Structure 1
Amino acid sequence: MAATSLADWLRSASDDLLTELLRARRDLATPPPADSGVLATRAGTAGSIARACENLDTATLAVLEALLVAGADTEPVGRQRIAGLLGADLPEQLDRLRGLALAWGEDDALSVAPGAREVFGPYPAGLGAPAPGLDEKDLDAALAEAGEDERALLGTLAAGPPIGRTRDAAAAVTLASASTPVQRLLARGLLLRRDDQTVELPQQLGLALRGGHVHPPEHLSEPELPTNPHQQSTVDATAAGEAMEFLRRLEALLRLWSAQPSPVLKSGGLGVREVRRLGRELDADDTRVTLLAELAFGAGLVAASEDSSPEWVPTTLTDSWLSSPPSGRWLVVAQSWLDLPRLPGLAGQKDVRDRTLAPLSEDLRRPLAPAARRRVLDTLAELPSGAGVKGVEELVRLLAWRAPRRGGRLRDDMVRWAMAEASAIGVVALGALTSASGALLGDDPHGAASAMAEAMPQPVDQVLVQADLTVVAPGPLEPELAADVEAVADVESAGHATVYRVTEASVRRALDTGRTAGELQELFRSRSATPVPQALEYLIDDVARRHGRLRGGVAAAFLRCDDEVLVAEVLGNQVAREFELRRIAPTVLVSPYPLAELLDGLRAAGFAPAAEGPDGRIMDLRPSGRRIPARRPPARAATGGLPAISAEQLRAVLTHVRAGDRAATTRRGTTVRLPAGGGADTSATLALLSQATREQREVWIGFVDAHGTASQRVVTPVRVGGGILESSDNERYPLHRITSAALVED
């Protein structure tokens, strides 16, 4: 078998093959390699091989491991030998390895780079080194002679790794004096002694115990993904319900942080106590609270304030998000989750220093998280419409088979987290991809929002008022109706049907916003599908009768009341001294304190004042919540390690490599050499280049580019002057960077 170097193989490869190689292994093209030799050197490094292997499935990796087991990194091996080690011929996988320059050569002389052994370690496929003494030995007979305990030990080492630690290897013994299984196996030559405490199972014996195959044949086939059929409309409707619930909780979180922002930990992130507090307020577990906070942050709806004591505060984007329709709010959340360069699932786990990872901290940042999520969703997109996976673990096994070396120790957890998070926000339901998510993956945000709007329950325009003063919303309310109901009632329980409760405090709150008793009565009469209970009418009238009798204004603040007895009662109360109230008219009091503080003090003292505007109408002084400027949204996360290379860049790199190859193999005459850099005498170079220009002859040049990289080129000069050599291919070479030149011989 004739050995061919990787450089020679690349040099003889077609332009199409090199183009696909550079596209698949982006790191080989940066910076552009000078020639095929430099390209081969890069392709053979352990780091580049490891990156390329991240995209290989189990079967393709098995072929590469079989090549290493056969020693293809030291001398070429035949394809039949590899097929024998695998128990199957895998031509497609072998061609893929060739296309990635991880293997090269004809079928009878396949080679791999020595760097591959560094990637797979000293024991590829979990097999040890071959023992020359076993090549001619009848291994079946030797195994038949071994006792049950010896075969159990050999079976353990055959499963990999082939190394075992034992004290029985400390001294060499004969078969007659051997007293343990390890000693007997060492005496028979079925184990190799590496040092006083280490034994190794020879490769030949490991293969024999595995039935002659590097991997079990069933491992070479992609595992099936069991699915359950569903109607796509059922999937969409289920996801819409989950999305509505998630949006409700996210809205509640933003309102909580508007009124009472959570402090930022000194190390960054959200503290455990705050997570528990938010969980109680939102009726959610720690995992759901973390996801809500992370997506609010990822969507730019919250940010850390820049105060001396920073807090997590909603941004100015919150108001526009809250005013958007539910489908629009979902679209913002779904896009933010898909492109979030963080792993919320890591929150609560320990790092290498045994510290708990906090939500919203930098410890959760993982730039490749978006690629992992899209990989999960792309796999679901391969299924028939409405089909959902039966279980997450089957999906984990499938993706692990497709890319076992991608994702590191979090490989399987990222799949589980992606499915759990996607189900929580309505991207996935019943294990299937929704119509809206399919549009989102296809970069059609308008179609995604439209599909989700169609799947979401239509807003209802009526509520059910109960005799116990509860108001039941049988579905999502119209925005205007929802605002009116929330103004006059408190949420008691939320879900697909929301239950509100009307209390004296909630009615007073509605009156504080400027609504009148008549408007509240009309709200329930016109919007309730059930008769309005008399108790509710009495409650509204009773609160309204006492509400607003005492009115305040700005003086810094003033109070006025037509009832002089009530004015006297206020002046006689402790609150008058606390807020320095004084009478300026029989029915008017003034205070130097802000009106909002004065009214809060009066309410605490048992009065029921209302705020009055310049026109005499009641106005709402409730704070709208804190807001900070929105930060610039982060750029969309990349779906891989390096950015994709354009067709134009590929052509330029390929031209660069081919030019370097031509220069390296060109016959040239006497070479004129001079040091590159300023101050060098370029007269000899100028004379040679001028001659080539006049005679239109090709010139071989060596030069150093602006990055300090030395390379060679064959050019045809068309003009030399001004310190620049211009070639027929419109390239320009500064003369001070040319280190040598020679005329090309015919």
Structure 2
Amino acid sequence: MTGSLSTWLAGLSREELAGLLSERSDALADPEPLTLGELAERLSGPRGALVAFAACELPLVQFAEVLAALGGAAARADVEALLGAEPDDFERVLDALVRRGLVWPADGLLHLVEPLREWPIGDGPLGLGPSAAVLLPHLRAEDLRRIVRGLGVEPRGKRKAELLDAALAGLGDAERVRRVVAAAPQRERSRIEKIARAGRIDGDQGIYLFGRESPYTWALARGLLVQLDWLQPLMPAEVALALRGPSYQAPFTPAAPSVGTAAASEGAVTAEFAAASARALEQMEAVLRSCAAEPPARLKSGGVGVRELRRTAKRTGGSEDAVRLWLELAAAEGLLDWRDGALAPAAEAGDPPPSAARLASMLRTWAQMPRLPLLDDPETGRSAPLDTRAHDPAAPRLRAAVLESLAALPGGRGATGPGQLVAAVTWRSPLLFEDAEVAPPYIAAVWHEAELLGVIAHGALTPTGRVLAGVDAAVTLDEAVADALEATCGRVLLQSDLTAVVPGPPAPWLAGLLDLVADRESRGTASVWRFSLPSVRRALDEGRTADGIRSDLEAAAGTGLPQPLAYLIDDVARRHGEVTVTALACAIRCSRPALLAEILAHRGLRRLKLRELAPTVLASAEPVDQTLAALRAAGYVPAGAGDGDAPLIERARPPRREKRPGKAEATRPRTPIDLAARLHGTPPDPPAEADDVDAHMAELASHLPVSERRMLAHALRTGVAVGIEYVNGEGNPTTRVIEKARLDAPFLTAWCRLRDAERVFHIGRVQAVTPAALMI
């Protein structure tokens, strides 16, 4: 079709097509499009287009708004005139929208992608009502005849279609509209011009029933206002634009607003960067150790309570804000998890990676974490850490906007505070907030998080901040982190009063060593630890030896140990283990010592690590259920005992369903260049059904576009996750992410992430299908 998105795509070169695909990652989702026609369907899908639009800067949003106000397709000159843009700014903004597939040029017009034409933001583009082409077809022929006569337009015939064409032509002629209004009575002219400036009628002034004459009768008779049934009259967009006059220009802000700055020397930023990076890593390790020793309990409402938060902060020596952030990051990285109502280290966490790798991982997780742990909501306050209700899918985009705003500052300058960034951030991501007045606490939360992680120092981006902002491609995040940790202090001064002093930001390995064998007393430019019997015992409890502790401390100090410290370590080591405590998972009792001796010697029960406590009692290292199972597998017939020696009643458990599909999602590497090379030259039409699943889906879901049917068929074949927009039996719309789907026509049975259970969906009620990554 001439002027269509697919036809325009067919005219792009491979390089241009690859550039578009690199901006629209939703086009790369499985199953990859087979033709340019299918790619066009995917690019113009409502969710994909709106997600791409949400990442646009303010001038791109303003450009699209003007195009929507002009009906979704308009001549370049008309858009340029309404924006009042300089040619260079116009070209730059247009090119950015074209590269995202949101606007394309064809047939001498600029076309806006379909989901944006009805303008999903606010009351309408530029505050205007629907176009005359949307409103007038709902009127009767006699109403159209009255409008044509009032505008002074001569129709080609008397049929409704001909009357409609004449009315649309008359209202589309701006000079004619202005002449008609200029000839109106003064009261009518003032009323109509006021509505044109506002774009709508205020309140319920336009609803008149029971034969009362409307004050808008004159305007209604000329199509300047249109009233459908008894609803409030609407002014067609063409009329409002005509009456605003040729000098009217839509808002257009091509340049980012300035940010208040102060001097931020490179030396000061680098020093604070090194200190904050080491401190972040050190405090994260302390929080993990604290959660291992005393796991914080979970609130009934979810998350970690204030009392537990303060206790953890006191144990680790960090602030409550810092502990909030470390708990959230540790949980997001899978290092902490809820077990038995408490937050404890994940069983599969394994050995910790090197310090640089751990910090780099923390930073990557922070950049993409859909939560704002340090947000002070003016209405609800601050939510509990790890509260599942505090999900904020826009958080990654907000962090990116803050970092991008700081990246635009001149060298040697830093923002004087988060409040200075409000205008710049809302310019870069205008759709993050409905009202810029609510933005300050969100930006302050990101600012504070970034300072704690060493991403911001003295209001300027540090090396890791520049990497995360994408402005320093020559350095990787791992390299920037390694440089920061190398700048920390790796030497300690051991004193005879059993204290250790580090005259600078301690290296993570050194802080970890001292936190293990001593207790920290102060932080700051210099940090102080104190050795004591409990602190040395703590190190021995974790498997360290006295010789190992001495050698590590001597290597860190570069000298021998002070005599009091050496005596302390030797004394504690000599006494350590005089009294032992052995773990006992469960006990096996039997009145026949011979039978217990047989069980103790049974080769098949070695994994229980049985030990004899008494002639009639054995200790097992495994829990009750596993011990019972092992004994039964060996041919014995044991029974469990409850409290007070009462028999333990065992009921068969129903088979547990997997919460996640066993089949992994496709991970085949695909690049925009590869996909562009394969799509280039393919037909501008959607593909035909490839197999029986596609053909069956075409019969069951003929109401869906081909690209969405193929996506659903792919989910059935592979079990991967996919997003659906669904209308349930009560007629209520909902969005779900489903996986491990199977077909029982006309129903889909799949695991629903929202309900965390298996659910059944009627295919006829599936309104749209999108990649799961877009369901935010």
Please, what TM-score do these two structures have when normalized by structure 2?
0.55
Rounded to whole Å, the distance in 1 between the matches of 2:182 and 2:487 is 66
The answer to whether the Cα contact below 8 Å between 1:66 and 1:86 also exists between their aligned partners in 2 is yes
Matches within 5 A, 1:507-526: none
1:312 is aligned to 2:340: no
Check 1:144–1:51 CA distance in 2 against 1; reply closer, same or farther (3 A cut).
Answer: same
Rounded to whole Å, the distance in 2 between the matches of 1:238 and 1:649 is 44
The answer to whether the Cα contact below 8 Å between 2:49 and 2:115 also exists between their aligned partners in 1 is yes
Check 1:224–1:478 CA distance in 2 against 1; reply closer, same or farther (3 A cut).
Answer: closer
Structure 2 counterpart of 1:165, from 189, 193, 203: 203
1:239 is aligned to 2:273: yes
1:493-551: per-residue Cα shift (whole Å, max 9, x none)? 333333456778779989999999xx99xx99x9899xx9xxx97x9999999998999
Structure 2 spans left out of the alignment, 5+ residues: 133-170, 584-612, 615-664, 694-705, 714-776
Match of 1:648 in 2: 674
Matches within 5 A, 1:590-605: none
Aligned-residue Cα RMSD (Å) equals 5.9
1:461 is aligned to 2:496: no
Q: State the 1:40 CA deviation.
A: 4.7
Match of 1:276 in 2: 310
Matched AA of 2:490: P
Q: State the 1:423 CA deviation.
A: 0.9
Match of 2:60 in 1: 60
The answer to whether the Cα contact below 8 Å between 1:57 and 1:402 also exists between their aligned partners in 2 is yes
Check 1:245–1:254 CA distance in 2 against 1; reply closer, same or farther (3 A cut).
Answer: same
Q: State the 1:124 CA deviation.
A: 1.3
The answer to whether the Cα contact below 8 Å between 1:507 and 1:540 also exists between their aligned partners in 2 is no
The answer to whether the Cα contact below 8 Å between 1:301 and 1:318 also exists between their aligned partners in 2 is no
Match of 1:576 in 2: none
Q: State the 1:103 CA deviation.
A: 3.9
1:664-703: per-residue Cα shift (whole Å, max 9, x none)? 9xxxxxxxxxx9989xxxxxxxxxxxxxxxxxxxxxxxx9
% identical equivalent positions = 27
1:615-639: per-residue Cα shift (whole Å, max 9, x none)? xxxxxxxxxxxxxxxxxxxxxxx9x
Match of 1:213, SS state, is coil
Q: State the 1:365 CA deviation.
A: 5.4
Rounded to whole Å, the distance in 1 between the matches of 2:377 and 2:677 is 47
Q: State the 1:161 CA deviation.
A: 6.7
Matched AA of 1:170: Y
Matches within 5 A, 1:697-736: none
The answer to whether the Cα contact below 8 Å between 1:347 and 1:364 also exists between their aligned partners in 2 is no
Match of 1:342 in 2: 370
Rounded to whole Å, the distance in 1 between the matches of 2:440 and 2:511 is 42
Structure 2 counterpart of 1:494, from 523, 533, 544: 523
Structure 2 counterpart of 1:136, from 168, 179, 188: 179
The answer to whether the Cα contact below 8 Å between 1:270 and 1:361 also exists between their aligned partners in 2 is yes
Q: State the 1:433 CA deviation.
A: 1.8
Matched AA of 2:418: V
Match of 1:450 in 2: 482
Rounded to whole Å, the distance in 2 between the matches of 1:546 and 1:51 is 62
Matches within 5 A, 1:564-583: none
Where relative contact order (Cα < 8 A, 6+ residues apart) is larger, the structure is 2
Q: State the 1:408 CA deviation.
A: 8.2
Matched AA of 1:135: R
The answer to whether the Cα contact below 8 Å between 2:226 and 2:233 also exists between their aligned partners in 1 is yes
Match of 1:254 in 2: 288
Match of 1:135, SS state, is helix
From the CA coordinates, give the structure whose radius of gyration is larger: 1
1:387 is aligned to 2:430: no
Structure 2 counterpart of 1:215, from 233, 250, 255: 250
1:157-176: per-residue Cα shift (whole Å, max 9, x none)? 84x6735323574369889x
Match of 1:290, SS state, is helix
Rounded to whole Å, the distance in 2 between the matches of 1:643 and 1:652 is 14
Match of 1:398, SS state, is helix
Rounded to whole Å, the distance in 2 between the matches of 1:140 and 1:392 is 54
Structure 1 counterpart of 2:447, from 419, 433, 452: 419
Matched AA of 2:270: D
Check 1:210–1:471 CA distance in 2 against 1; reply closer, same or farther (3 A cut).
Answer: farther
Matches within 5 A, 1:538-687: 552=578, 645-657=671-683
Q: State the 1:425 CA deviation.
A: 1.3
1:81-124: per-residue Cα shift (whole Å, max 9, x none)? 22221123523433444555544445844444554323446621
The answer to whether the Cα contact below 8 Å between 1:78 and 1:109 also exists between their aligned partners in 2 is yes
Match of 1:303, SS state, is strand
How many residues were matched structurally? Answer: 555
Rounded to whole Å, the distance in 2 between the matches of 1:12 and 1:487 is 66
The answer to whether the Cα contact below 8 Å between 1:169 and 1:193 also exists between their aligned partners in 2 is no
Check 1:364–1:81 CA distance in 2 against 1; reply closer, same or farther (3 A cut).
Answer: same
Check 1:192–1:284 CA distance in 2 against 1; reply closer, same or farther (3 A cut).
Answer: farther
The answer to whether the Cα contact below 8 Å between 2:297 and 2:304 also exists between their aligned partners in 1 is yes
The answer to which of 130-139 and 293-302 deviates more is 130-139
Structure 1 counterpart of 2:80, from 78, 83, 95: 83
Check 1:276–1:290 CA distance in 2 against 1; reply closer, same or farther (3 A cut).
Answer: same
1:124 is aligned to 2:125: yes
Structure 2 counterpart of 1:398, from 410, 424, 437: 424
Q: State the 1:421 CA deviation.
A: 1.1
Rounded to whole Å, the distance in 1 between the matches of 2:299 and 2:186 is 63
